[in-house]
Structure 1
Amino acid sequence: MYLNFYGLTEKPFNPTPDPRFLYMSPGHREALAQLLYGVQERKGFIVLTGQVGTGKTTLVHALRQRLNGQTAVAFVFNSTLPFDGILEYALQDLGVPKAGESRAQQLIALNNFLVERERAGQNTVLILDEAQNLDASTLEQVRLLSNFETPTSKLLQIVLVGQPELKARLQIPELQQLRQRVGLRSQIAPLTAAEARTYIRTRLRIAGSRDLGLFSDPAVDRIVEYSGGIPRLINVVCDHCLLFGYADQKRRIDRQIVGQAVEYLEEGTQPRRRPRRSRAASGPARARWIVGTLAVATATAAVALALRFDTTVLGLMQSVRGLLSP
């Protein structure tokens, strides 16, 4: 809708985790480097945490792109699956031929697959997204997958990705053994005001915009104030700002438009706009009103005079008739 108006080739603030739009803030850059290091050095368990919408899933997709062809990746994003479901999903994602229906048969098939890849000098990664939703029993069974190892290295690298609640979940006594096996921890923080400004400009540039200052500094300040530096919320607000700006035919997004977008997101209704008339337009309108008023007054006076004249003439005629009558 607004792409041509703002000179964009695609939507810059889509909610999907597209790695092309990944903005590498210092925090994201450090987290990605840690993930790469943990996988390549076969650290076993790796934990990545961050608030909702901070870009964890986008970072994981970037990790998959940066891993060389010697690494197979199974990405399980449905955290409501029981362990058997996770195991079945991972086997299919890794391309392991179906070995049977029982858990024992599936584990044997996975072990054989991992051993063959190790002999070929290849690595294997299992990524579990939204891991804070996994119960203690499922996490403990996931831990047992780390027992696939040789005397010198881990055959399966397991990345647990989740919200800050995941750190609290790993502190419970039942998961002590898993906690002790975590070889690397990383955390993503919300963007600062300066990072958010660069984030918006980066996404505009990737989407083909020639005006990277499309959002004014006061507008960005209001966006950061509302979103708390969470990239997902920044995307939602910015997308609505472009819609409101297009509706108002404004080439630059100012703080007022951001306020309208925030009000819409909070209240669910479009803010009322009062029609504004310029002074140039009000002059002729006022003149027309005056002329119209004078015309009505003149017509009224004319009617009154006509009625008075008719009454006078009628009275005179009646008087003449009285004199002539015998």
Structure 2
Amino acid sequence: MSLYLSHFGLKEFPFSLTPDTGFYYDSRPHQEALNVLLVALRSGEGFLKVTGEVGLGKTLLCRMLLDALKEEAVTAYIPNPHLSPASMRLSLARELGLNPDQDLSQEQLLQVIQDRLMALAGEEKPVVLVLDEAQQLPEATLEAVRLLTNLETEKRKLIQVVLFGQPELEERLARPSVRQLRQRITFSYRLLPLDRDTVEDYVRHRLRVAGYRGAPLFTRPARRALFRRSEGTPRLVNVLAHKALMAAWGEGSDQVEGRHVRRAADDTEGVGLAAWGSACLNWRTALGLVLLIGVAGGLIAWGLWPDFVEVAP
């Protein structure tokens, strides 16, 4: 693999799937989401939510938020919240620097957490609980999280909560049984895929961070193919760009061509299906119009076109 890097003059792999904040690309959707979160948290809002499809960069955004808050708040990060209420409280306690006795009852554990939150409030340190993959939260745990936000002083909440999740989280929160939690969510943001220009800039950015300093490494057809096949999903851009670089390296090519990206897409399950379906639909529509025009022309030529149907000149 070192040959892959040296061949293109790279210091590290530019399209790793690890959510490395060093490669964070400040796209408009991500910057807007980060700004919304920071403004809302700094104003003391209790419940916030960010949703988006798989691969749009929620986890990386989550880490950027934690980095932005590290100097001004105590943060508790739970990356896999498929936990029971008891396990969630225990994880929160540990994130807050506590080491509670395993034999504590849930009431006692909650009291320990509340005491810690009160102590931090006395030190003017806000506490932010960040739950990634929140669509996996069992309903009982969602309710336990809501009850945590009941802890407050006369002036502010003792803990603020940010939920990061896939669109299924919206469906979970739409249930009547969790309407109390839904009503407490004061700020929400929905991440969307990147547009074509942003995908091109995203690729250039990651190559630059990885140490590339030469002429454009991806040709224009390659960049177009990356956008079409990834449909603007950053994770898929990373997968396809990495595989395309491998294909170009295997051929000894100094540039990534459109064929390399297409080969990468053919090797990646589920990529570009929507774009292919749209292309098929457009092709069928065009063929249908051609056939219709041809039939109409034949009927007119034979004098069989009905008089009451007008044909545009």
Pair in the same fold by TM > 0.5:
yes
Cα displacement string for residues 101-147 of structure 1 (whole angstroms, at most 9, x for unaligned residues): 32111111110111111111101111111111112222111100001
Deviation at residue 68 of structure 1 after TM alignment: 4.1
User: Tell me, which stretches of 5 or more residues in structure 1 are unaligned?
Assistant: 268-326
| Partner amino acid, structure 2, of 1:3 | L
Out of 16, 25, 28, the position equivalent to 1:14 is 16
Deviation at residue 47 of structure 1 after TM alignment: 0.4
Q: Which structure has the larger Rg over C-alpha atoms?
A: 1
Q: Compute the TM-score of the two structures, normalised by the length of structure 1.
A: 0.79
Q: Aligned equivalents of 1:124 and 1:112: distance in 2? A: 13
Out of 90, 93, 99, the position equivalent to 1:91 is 93
Structure 2 SS opposite 1:47: strand
User: Tell me, which stretches of 5 or more residues in structure 2 are unaligned?
Assistant: 271-313
Q: Aligned equivalents of 1:153 and 1:261: distance in 2? A: 52
Cα displacement string for residues 234-284 of structure 1 (whole angstroms, at most 9, x for unaligned residues): 1011111111111001111010111111122249xxxxxxxxxxxxxxxxx
Provide the residue aligned with 1:292 in structure 2: none
Provide the residue aligned with 1:178 in structure 2: 181
**1:49 pairs with 2:58:** no
Q: Aligned equivalents of 2:211 and 2:96: distance in 1? A: 36
Provide the residue aligned with 1:229 in structure 2: 232
Q: Aligned equivalents of 1:260 and 1:232: distance in 2? A: 17
Provide the residue aligned with 1:75 in structure 2: 77
Q: Aligned equivalents of 2:145 and 2:10: distance in 1? A: 45
**1:161 pairs with 2:129:** no
Tell me if structure 1 keeps the 8 A contact 2:69–2:75.
no
Provide the residue aligned with 2:129 in structure 1: 126
Provide the residue aligned with 1:304 in structure 2: none
Q: Aligned equivalents of 1:116 and 1:177: distance in 2? A: 28
Provide the residue aligned with 2:222 in structure 1: 219
Tell me if structure 1 keeps the 8 A contact 2:82–2:138.
no
Runs of 4+ in 1 over 2 A off after TM superposition: none
Q: Aligned equivalents of 1:265 and 1:189: distance in 2? A: 22
Provide the residue aligned with 2:142 in structure 1: 139
Q: Aligned equivalents of 2:214 and 2:267: distance in 1? A: 26
Q: Aligned equivalents of 1:40 and 1:103: distance in 2? A: 30
Tell me if structure 2 keeps the 8 A contact 1:19–1:62.
yes
Deviation at residue 212 of structure 1 after TM alignment: 6.0
Out of 115, 120, 145, the position equivalent to 1:117 is 120
Tell me if structure 1 keeps the 8 A contact 2:83–2:138.
no
Q: Compute the TM-score of the two structures, normalised by the length of structure 2.
A: 0.83
